Every structure is written in C-alpha cells, then in structure tokens.
Amino acid sequence: MTRRAARLAERVALVTGGGQGIGRGIALALAEDGAAVAVTGRREGPLKEVADEIAQRGGRALALVGDVGVREDVERVVAQAADWIGRLDVLVNNAQSSVQRPLEETSDEDVAMAYLTGPLAAFHGMQAALPHLKVRGGSIVNLGSSAALLGREGFASYAMAKEAIRGLSRVAAKEWGRYGIRVNVVCPAAVSPAAEVYLAANPEYHAELVRDIPLGRLGDAEHDIGRAVAALVSDDLAYLTGATLMLEGGRTLLG
C-alpha cells in the first residue's frame, strides 16, 4: 500500500451531493487515499456510478439516496453510513441548491431553499454525525464559496447561505475541538456539470472568470479540490481547525 493510499485507511467518510461535480471529485480522492466512502444525493443513478467507479479503482463505496433538505433523510443517511462498517470519521457537507437572481428580484422562497439545502443541511448532518465522530475524533469539511466572499452579483441567496455555513463551522470548531473533532471550510472553484452549463451559456463571464484567476484555469474537481480535502481530513493537517481554505486558484486575491 502506498503512503497516499494508507493515509485514510480504516476511515469512513460520508460525502453529501456525492453523485456529480465537486462532490464526486471529493469522494474519488478520499477513496484513493484509502477511505471507505458513502455518497449521498437525491438520484440513485449518479450515486451508483460513483460507487462503481470507486470499486473499479479498488476502493469501498456505498450509495445512499437521500435529500439533504429533509432532516429525517439526513439523519437516516448518517446512521446508515456509520452502521456500514461500524464507524464514521469524516463528514463532507457539499450539497447545495440555489437560484441565481439579482438581489432586488430574490424572493423569500429563494433564500429558504438555499438555507434549507445549505447551512441547515450541514447543521443537521453535523448534529447527526456528532455521536459517531466523538468516539475517536474526526473531521468535518463544509463547503463555502468565494462568490460569497467577493459579493458576486446575482448570488444573494447563495452568498447568504454560504456565509452562514462559515459561521456555523467556526462555532463548531470551538465547541467540538474538545472531542478531537476538526471543522474546516473549503471554498472551491472547479468545473462541475452545473458549472459547465452555466459557463457555456455565459461565455463572456467564463472568459472573465479565467482572467481573474492568477493560475489561469478553473480547478479539477478530483485532483485540485478532492485531493486537498483528503489532505485536510488526514493526520497531515491534524492541527488545523476553524479555517477557511481557498481552493480557487488565487481568485480572491483580486477581489
């Protein structure tokens, strides 16, 4: 077993929104580092595809259908992930739904959806995972966004939700450090199916976005984002908690 494959050996991780995009990339990278990975989302097909891909690479994976916007689903999925092998060490709250509109057109319903599937989903997942993570200590990674930090136009409800996630994460890092639980935030910029559709429909923004990234490209979901998350939850970064890791090629330097 290589050093990288051994880094997360014997650990079990749960990734929400793990059927595509950044969630898929994170799940694949965690498995490459030796973790057994449960992926959850609303559609069974994509989840099974990711689980099969992990298995084909020699890893262990479990597909769990659930809606992060429903607390009962979140609690069930966390319990199933923990019961699968008998432990839970890592929770990655990646799933998020939102609608992009100008602030003046943003509705209460837009905000409610962003909060339900973002900070509330993370809150529910973290509470459900706490009894399992307290056994040996563990790591929680919540996804934020540079769009919130930069105040990107048209992303009011999304920015509100993502900054709420960062506040929640900082409180958890302080309260749960005593249990050996680390809580950090990752703000990624990577190509996903949803991003590809949006960028294809907005080529001028795509070109502007790349110009604003000092490294000159959008990240790869597995190799740029997933591998960083795998390092973050490993013992290599065991002294880091309450932090926000900007994985966006330096874009916020220009904000």
Secondary structure class of 158 (helix, strand, coil): helix
Distance of CA 141 to the CA centre of its chain: 6
Say how far apart CA 52 and CA 87 lie, in whole Å. Answer: 22
Contacts of 29 (CB under 8 A, 6+ apart): 222, 223, 225, 226, 227, 229, 230
The tokens describing 199, both together, are 């960028």
> Locate tokens 């990288």: which residue?
4
Q: How many residues does the chain have?
A: 255
Active-site position among 158, 179, 198, 239: 158
Cβ atoms within 10 A of the Cβ of 135, count?
A: 13
Phi/psi of residue 79, nearest 5 degrees: -65, -40
The tokens describing 204, both together, are 């001028």
Phi/psi of residue 66, nearest 5 degrees: -175, 160
Residue type at position 191? V
Query: Residue 185: in which H helix or E strand, if any?
Result: strand 181-188
The tokens describing 184, both together, are 């950090």
Say how far apart CA 154 and CA 105 lie, in whole Å. Answer: 9
Known catalytic residue at 205: no
Q: Given phi > 0 = left and psi -120 to 50 = alpha, else beta, which region is 239?
A: alpha
Query: What is the separation, in whole angstroms, between the first and last Cα of the chain?
Result: 43
**Which residues are catalytically annotated?**
158
